[in-house]
Amino acid sequence: MLQAITFDFWGTLYEDGSTADERLPIIEKALSVHGQSRSLSQIEAATKHAWAIWERTWLEERRSLPISSWLDEVLNAMDVSLPSAARESLYRPLQDIYLNEARPPQPIAGVLDIVPRLARRYRLGLISDTGLTPGRVLREVMDRDGLLRFFDTETFSDEIGVTKPEPQAFLRTLEALEVPAAAAAHIGDLPETDIVGARGVGMRALLFLGKSHREDGLALADAAFEDYVELEDILKSLP
């Protein structure tokens, strides 16, 4: 009998966010203050370089690159050296973009309705890989939308040191939920992390197709859906 449901964050509960443009002026201002001005195009090229390293780390080492390492890559790509205090003063503003911008990330259609209903029947958990936006900020985003209170536990890669599909991300969440893997289902949009990871620890895995449209994961998932109006019936039909 299904007792718990865990969700991915980006592309499953929330629309994917894009913050590259908002971060560029923050870096530009810091460089200017310290007499090492660079153009926005130079900074943009440096951030793309840093993101390529971030993605390689995520894929090959199964961990999230910390903000300190990401920023070092950005500065090194421009042959810039900032004092330690100045570099560290950038961490928080770069991480907190979603708390300050005019258009913060929005829940995917149907999420605000389905989560409270599911919370009446199941224990809910979150398992999210993070980029430069840490779990600390994502909790604030969820709390702003009234969703955080429905979740019994949240697992973020920046807090545990590993990313999906590593078993620890799922097993840690199941332990906090106090349910066995066989009694839990994970919902996510990426076959290689969400579906493979959940199935690997014995959970059932549901593929959300509404945003990423990763139909290449259909054969790996126990079920798939495109709209949250379908989810409750799918959960009831799981063996």
The predicted-structure confidence for 217-226, as pLDDT tens digits, reads as follows 899 999 999 9
Q: What are the tokens at 178?
A: 């106090």
Q: Is the pLDDT of residue 83 over 90?
A: yes
The larger pLDDT score, comparing residue 171 to residue 211, is at 171
Q: What percent of the chain has pLDDT over 90?
A: 87
Identify the CATH homologous superfamily for domain 4-17+105-237: HAD superfamily/HAD-like (3.40.50.1000)
Dihedral sign (CA 167, 170, 174, 179): negative
Q: Is the pLDDT of residue 198 over 60?
A: yes
User: Are the C-beta atoms of 176 and 157 separated by less than 8 Å?
Assistant: no
- Among residues 183, 209, 178, 215, which one has the least CA distance to residue 198? 183
Q: Is the pLDDT of residue 82 over 60?
A: yes
Q: Give pLDDT tens digits for 152-172.
A: 999 999 999 999 999 999 999
Task: State the pLDDT confidence band at 101, using cuts at 50, 70 and 90.
Answer: low
Range name among 20-24, 35-39, 127-131 with the lowest pLDDT average: 20-24
Task: State the pLDDT confidence band at 213, using cuts at 50, 70 and 90.
Answer: confident
Mean per-residue pLDDT, 20-35: 91
Burial bucket for residue 171 (CB in 10 Å: 0-12, 13-18, 19+) = middle
Angle formed by the axes of helices 40-61 and 67-77, to 10°?
130
Task: State the pLDDT confidence band at 19, using cuts at 50, 70 and 90.
Answer: low
User: Are the C-beta atoms of 107 and 147 separated by less than 8 Å?
Assistant: yes
The pairing of strands 204-208 and 223-225 is parallel
The pLDDT score that the predictor gives to residue 211 is: 86
pTM over 0.85: yes
- Among residues 172, 225, 216, 231, which one has the least CA distance to residue 197? 172
The pLDDT score that the predictor gives to residue 22 is: 86
